[in-house]
Amino acid sequence: MKLGIINGWSEGCIKYVHDKGLEAVEFCVNDKYDSNEFLAQAQAIKGYSEKYGVAVGSIGRWGMDRIDDNGDVIPEALQHDKNLITAASIIGCPVYNCGINYTDSKSFFENCEIAINYFKTLVDFAKDKNVKIASYNCDWANFVIEPKVWEPVLSAVPELGLKYDASHCLRRGGNYLKEMLDFGDRIYHFHLKGSVYIDGEHYDDAPAGLDQTDWKTVMDILYTKNYDGMLSIEPHSSYWEGKKGQWAIDYTINYFRPFIMPEDYEYSDNPYMP
């Protein structure tokens, strides 16, 4: 696994990730960004990645409607996704995260069929580009967020994976450990974002490690499911900003560093196992 963080794609942003001692960065090229402009910068971003030894662990696009009110694909949205998949291929990024919005004019079954066809289109487009497609489990312009949808969609698109964030499951009142147990072999990218609930009410998206998430058990499931992708720190709290926020990032890095087995870990077989 590689420990990393969400950040921008300028040289300064990637240098920041390097200076924090992190191995990877995630880009969120959300709906407010022009994918054509990002694609035009792909070669330069690849250069920054190589210069500082920071891998690009994933690229994603949140908040964009991909399906119109009639249940038809929005051509401009599909092109944005294709542009970013192409950019990921150029940069050497292995995962592209996206979602599918729900259309009220269609039934749940019909929406699932729409999602299946859209994801198949992206998977087919990405096949020769060494990029895997993952559906994020956030409900921002997306309904493919939980087991009742994953079961029909993931079974129909075996190449499709998940970008998983336990905090989104908690917001829905779900069981993130059970979801990870059942779908852990489909996780392609993983967010580290904390959660604090008091008397059953959401209080804070706290820095990971300063929250109530059972991170030790989370890491056990990731290891036993043979996850080998990026652990992406997502600072997301309005309480933790400025100097305090930067300290919190350092805290999260130091908290998770001992959980990560070094790639060059050396061991010898023990002839006696009790």
Domain spans in the chain, listed from the N-terminal domain onward: 2-259
Question: How far apart (Å, rounded) are the C-alpha atoms in residues 141 and 63?
Answer: 5
Enter the pTM of the model: 0.96
**pLDDT, tens digit (0-9, with 9 covering 90-100), for 120-166:** 999 999 999 999 999 999 999 999 999 999 999 999 999 999 999 99
* Separation CA 234–CA 122 (nearest Å): 25
Q: Which residues contact 249 (CB under 8 A, 6 or more apart)?
A: 5, 20, 207, 233, 235
Tokens of 42: 């792909």
CB atoms within 10 A of CB 203: 14
Contact between 221 and 190 (Cβ < 8 Å)? no
Task: Please state which CATH class domain 2-259 belongs to.
Answer: alpha beta
pLDDT digits (tens, 9 = 90+) for 187-203: 999 999 999 999 999 99
User: What are 1's two structure tokens?
Assistant: 């696994």
